[in-house]
Amino acid sequence: MTLQLSRERAAQLAIMGQLLDAERPDGIVDTVRGLGRVQIDPTAVVARTEHLVLYSRLGAFDRAELERVMWKERKLFEYFAFICPMADLAIYRHTMARVRRKQNYWRNYLVRWMEENDGFRRRVLRQLARGPLPSREIADAASVSYVSTGWNKDKNVSRMLEGLLSTGEVAIVGRDGQERIWALGRDWYPRGVRAVSESRAAREVMSRRLAAFGIARAKELGSSFDVPSGWEKALADLVREGKAREATVEGLRGSFYVSTPLLERRFRGRSSVLSPFDRLIHDRVRSREFFDFDYKLEIYVPPPKRRWGYYVLPVLYGDRFVARFDARREPQTGTLRVLALHAERGTTAAAAEVVSREVRRLGRWLGLRNIVYDKVPRGWRRALDA
């Protein structure tokens, strides 16, 4: 029987799936496993997005610990600009094998381009066989240049490394600042880990994605680079086994799928500041439907056309968003500057204390002792400055 949910309960399920309720995860690795993976982005006006995503779930964690579990203990690895659990390597081995099979236009062009540059490819692998290297120490020996209408045009070394990363032949084994360090995959990944079968990959990916979404439409669950064919059957199997439920949401079109274990939990909320790239808000339609929260990343919007600001962090309180603020870190003066703080519709000045507390916590974690607010909602100044 189809489950009927209120929008409030749907929002709570999405929050719980994203580990943003009061039941915090147990450490960095547990967080990445619970989310499935964590996006990496170099934009660091306040902090790198992978750090902010972990901070939102864990609180004031030690960023050096992330480096340790990735590069020393190898419990996590970097793949397609995401931090992934090494425990899921067998699933990603399946993804790596699919890249070689050229199953879409991008993969077809990339693999064909690598084949056309086989001498360049073998040269890169020979260099890395002698030890890890940054890309700047690898010479461009491409016989056919990479064609793109975007920023990858003629960036042959980086495209070859990315292609070899996608097939698992090379791996990212560290970073020197923003620069990635590359090595052979066989020297980095645990030995003996082989790709799971197509059906097993479909089931594992669907199970993890549904748990991380909490609640989602089928098309959302099936839209990702690591989703193999057969995912629809895997989703149906989860429903048949009682591990997922079909549902409708009050006032929303279409049907949804819900993670059964989350349905059995009572929601207990908390407050948190989210990265602009956080997966809870990355889908604008989903954010409007579940939270009545219209969020658009404006980093790439020309300044005169921005409504909210360049690097805007939402503030979640319980099961709703109460504010968003455009901020930047000013390390020279030890300041976290809030350029503009915006109250969400229906939010009263009582939320100012919540926002003030979360901004102070964020500042302390970043090592910034001063909090400065430039533009704030009317009636909020006193609570923010207290």
pLDDT given at position 270: 97
pLDDT at position 150 is 65
Question: What pLDDT does 102 receive?
Answer: 60
Choose among 85, 38, 78, 31: nearest CA to 277: 38
- pLDDT, residue 357, reads 96
Contact predicate 69/28, CB 8 Å? yes
Q: Quick one: pLDDT at residue 105? A: 54
Give the Cα separation of 325 and 295 in Å (integer): 12
Q: Which residues lie below 8 Å from residue 267, measured CB to CB, with a gap of 6+?
A: 9, 12, 15, 16, 21, 319
- Structure confidence at residue 203 (pLDDT): 96
| Alpha carbon distance 98, 303 (integer Å) | 41
Question: How many Å apart are CA 276 and CA 296, to the nearest integer?
Answer: 9
- Adjacent-strand bridge partners of 320: 317
Residues written for the chain: 386
Question: pLDDT 10s per residue in the chain (386 long)?
Answer: 799 999 999 999 999 999 999 999 999 999 999 999 999 998 999 999 999 999 999 999 999 999 999 999 999 999 989 999 999 999 999 999 988 776 655 677 888 899 999 999 999 999 999 999 999 999 999 999 988 766 666 689 999 999 999 999 999 999 988 899 999 999 999 999 999 999 999 999 999 999 999 999 999 999 888 888 899 999 999 999 999 999 999 999 999 999 999 999 999 999 999 999 999 999 999 999 999 999 999 999 999 999 999 999 999 999 999 999 999 999 999 999 999 999 999 898 889 999 999 999 999 999 999 999 999 999 999 989 87
Cα R_g (the chain), whole angstroms:
22
Predicted local confidence at residue 106, as pLDDT: 64
What is the predicted pLDDT for the residue at 178?
85
175, β-bridge pairs: 180
Q: Determine the pLDDT at residue 104.
A: 58
Q: Where are the beta strands (DSSP E) in 2-129?
A: 3-5, 38-39, 76-79, 82-85
The per-residue pLDDT for 348 is 87
In 3D, which of 76, 80, 82 has the Cα closest to residue 173?
76
Classify strands 256-259 and 244-249 as parallel, antiparallel or unpaired.
antiparallel
